[in-house]
Chain A
Amino acid sequence: MEEYSRSDQGPIAGGGTWYFLAFMLLIIATIAAFAMWNHVTPDRHLMLVVVPVLCAIPFAFLVSRATQVLRKIGRAELTTPYESLALGLPVTAIYTRPIKGDATLESVEAWLRLEEKVTRGSGKNKKTFTAIAQEQTLTPVTKASPTQIRIELPIRIPDAGPPTALVDGVELQWMLHMRLRMRGCPHTRSSFELNVLPAVVKR
């Protein structure tokens, strides 16, 4: 049997929206400070330096958390018996992540989700809608090891599916989402795309 490993889609620490907002705050504050520099009296220049520095704190915080996570526990992988899963067939997915420092796993939560993504329009009018169509909570089994986080996840995509689909701006995608609560390092999340075949497999 040839096992298949897929890499983690994160987010490592905090969602992408937080990074975007923190970065935008920093950019806007910097641009505003530059624009106002020649229009204020020199005694207020210090304030124009302090404001962007303060606005850089959220972005720096997020980056430092992500760096800390990667330094202490490395990148995750999810291994399944085959690349494509089938409807109705139970499999055990193995989540592995190296531990580099003194971090330990406190608890883990996992969900299997069917996500719908619908894209409408084109160019400037392009709009994407997303929704969670199905969700099931998984029961992860953690194997303790000083050098590695190893979690077994029993997965079974329902017989009724649907399989993975991508047609004409409509995407149906099964995702595995995990939330890891850590000790000795910031909490982190993982997510993996699961390719599901259009076939029900009966043993």
Chain B
Amino acid sequence: MMRIDVKSDQVTIGGRVKGQVTWNADGGKEPRKIEVVLRRRFEGKRTDDSEVQSASEENAGSRSQIVLSFDFEVPADEPPTYRGKLISIVWEIVATADLPWAVDLHETKVINVTVPVWTAEQYSQYCINESSSETDPEER
């Protein structure tokens, strides 16, 4: 009934994840609202999650098909996907259909957040900026 399609399930930190959530009524209940969220979730010694960005379609009406497009940015200060000993960091797109008088329907798509590839010049430029912003407090 609900499907998440992403253009690519591989995204770099600071990059964008685009796609759409498609809801088909298939003769069942009509949702009041469709919401899609980009979230970072921990697995292991911590199990909490953090909603990074969201989009929603409130006026679902009585359409037989609802398509909700999304375009989320993975913030540059967030960690990439990680699988460790005590903790794992999972990135996912979660779509929720708010159904009247029924349990909400959820659909999840795991995405792989990686780090960007820089050239040596980009790296040295970053490091020069980093050291100059430390010596010049006004630049911070």
Contacts and interface: CB of A to CB of B under 8 A. Distances in A.
Contacts of A124: none
Which size class do B's interface residues fall under? 20 to 34
Given A170-B87, A199-B115, A2 B128 contact: yes
B84 A83 contact: no
A111 B124 CA distance: 26
B131 A169 contact: no
B131 A2 contact: yes
A200 B79 contact: no
Interface string A2-35: 1010000000000000000000000000000000
A188 B116 CA distance: 39
Given A129-B86, A198-B80, A89 B123 contact: yes
Nearest to B44: A118
Interface stretch (B2-10, B16-24, B45-53, B97-105): B45-53
Interface stretch (A44-52, A53-61, A160-168, A179-187): A160-168
B107 interface: no
B117 A199 contact: yes
Contacts of A84: 126-127, 130
Given A86-B123, A172-B79, A200 B118 contact: yes
A167 B90 CA distance: 13
Interface of A: 1-2, 4, 81-84, 86-87, 89, 114, 116, 118, 120, 129-133, 161-163, 165, 167-170, 172, 197-203
5 contacts: A1-B124, A2-B131, A83-B127, A83-B130, A89-B123
Interface of B: 13, 40, 42, 44-46, 48, 50, 76, 78-80, 82, 84-87, 89, 115-120, 122-124, 126-128, 130-131, 134
The list of the 4 closest CB pairs from A to B, nearest first, reads A82-B127, A165-B79, A118-B45, A131-B85
